[in-house]
């Protein structure tokens, strides 16, 4: 009797494992859809371990295509965690996306490269930007479509703004950290004579503040001061300071 029971359990476990291994991704999405109000997609094929998606929309961000793979352990705790490799009009992205029971959307080990001109257009800035923006985030958490936590680095490589005067900032790096509900980015650059330093601070009330300093009274700094007008000033050491604030 014991031998028959053991054989039955083995057969049942094998069959259950087979069903889990071949479980269609579209059925999993339908089951989890109530937890994913900000996620929409036009097409989803494959299994939960290897799925192909087209026209995936997360919040207001649209990805044309991608590959998804579900992580099982977080699902047991009520969270949806998926390893992703996505392509959008802006570029390619890889990382892990997690959505918990409270609706918090997080990205871990998230990396993407974006054309600076396309990013400026997406954000509504009427500037002729050049170069590539490289985003390498250890973690970013959103709630109600607003950024609540961020850690990692953002680099703008070959950072150039074309216009009446060509502004070349070399490579700009922003190191992001979060402390006491404030996201702070430390700004610096390299690769050019004109040195740029500063901070950008995001608060939970959706406000932000930017403080920039262009050192050594450079001609570039003076040109920028003339272009941005009231938000710029020149201190006694000839350094150009740019300060402005706003709300997202």
- The predicted pLDDT at position 168 comes to 85
3-state SS track over the chain: CHHHHHHHHHHHHHHHHHHHHCCEHHHHHHHHHHHCCCEECCEEEEECCEEEEEEEEECCEEEEEEEEEECHHHHHCCCEEEEEEEECCCCEEEEEEEECCCCCEEEEEEEEEEEHHHHHHHHCCCCEEEEEEEEEEEEEEEECCEEEEEEEEEEEEEEEEECCCCEECCEEEEEEEEECCEEEEEEEEECCCCCEEEEEEEECCCEEEEEEEECCCCHHHHHHHHHHHHHEEECCCCCEEEEEEEEC
Position 134 pLDDT exceeds 70: yes
**Stated pTM of the model:** 0.76
Top-confidence residue, 204 or 117: 117
Give the pLDDT band (50/70/90) at residue 15: very low
Q: Would you place residue 17 in the very low, low, confident or very high pLDDT band (cuts 50, 70, 90)? A: very low
Mean pLDDT of 98-126: 81
pLDDT confidence tier of residue 18, bands split at 50, 70 and 90: very low
Domain ranges of the chain: 1-103, 113-248
- Which stretch of 32-36, 66-70, 85-89, 166-170 has the lowest confidence by average pLDDT? 32-36
């Amino acid at each position: 009797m014991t031998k028959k029971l053991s054989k039955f359990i083995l057969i049942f476990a094998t069959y259950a494992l087979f069903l889990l291994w071949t479980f269609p991704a579209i059925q999993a999405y339908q089951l989890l859809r109530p937890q994913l109000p900000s996620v929409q997609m036009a097409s989803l094929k494959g299994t939960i371990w290897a799925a192909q998606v087209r026209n995936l929309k997360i919040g207001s961000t649209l990805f044309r295509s991608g590959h998804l793979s579900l992580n099982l352990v977080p699902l047991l705790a009520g969270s949806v965690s998926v390893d992703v490799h996505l392509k959008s009009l802006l570029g390619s992205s890889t990382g892990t996306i997690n959505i918990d029971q409270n609706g918090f959307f997080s990205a871990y080990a998230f990396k993407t490269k974006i054309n600076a001109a396309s990013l400026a257009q997406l954000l509504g800035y009427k500037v002729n930007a050049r170069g590539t923006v490289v985003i390498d985030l250890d973690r970013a958490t959103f709630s109600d479509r607003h950024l609540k936590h961020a850690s990692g680095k953002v680099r703008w490589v070959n950072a150039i703004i074309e216009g009446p005067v060509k502004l070349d900032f070399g490579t700009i790096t922003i190191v992001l950290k979060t402390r006491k509900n404030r996201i702070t980015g430390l700004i610096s650059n390299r690769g050019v004579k004109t040195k740029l330093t500063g901070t950008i601070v995001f608060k939970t009330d959706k406000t932000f503040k930017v403080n920039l300093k262009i050192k050594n009274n450079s001609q570039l700094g003076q040109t920028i001061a003339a272009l941005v007008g009231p938000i710029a000033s020149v201190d006694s050491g000839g350094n150009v300071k740019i300060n402005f604030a706003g709300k997202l």
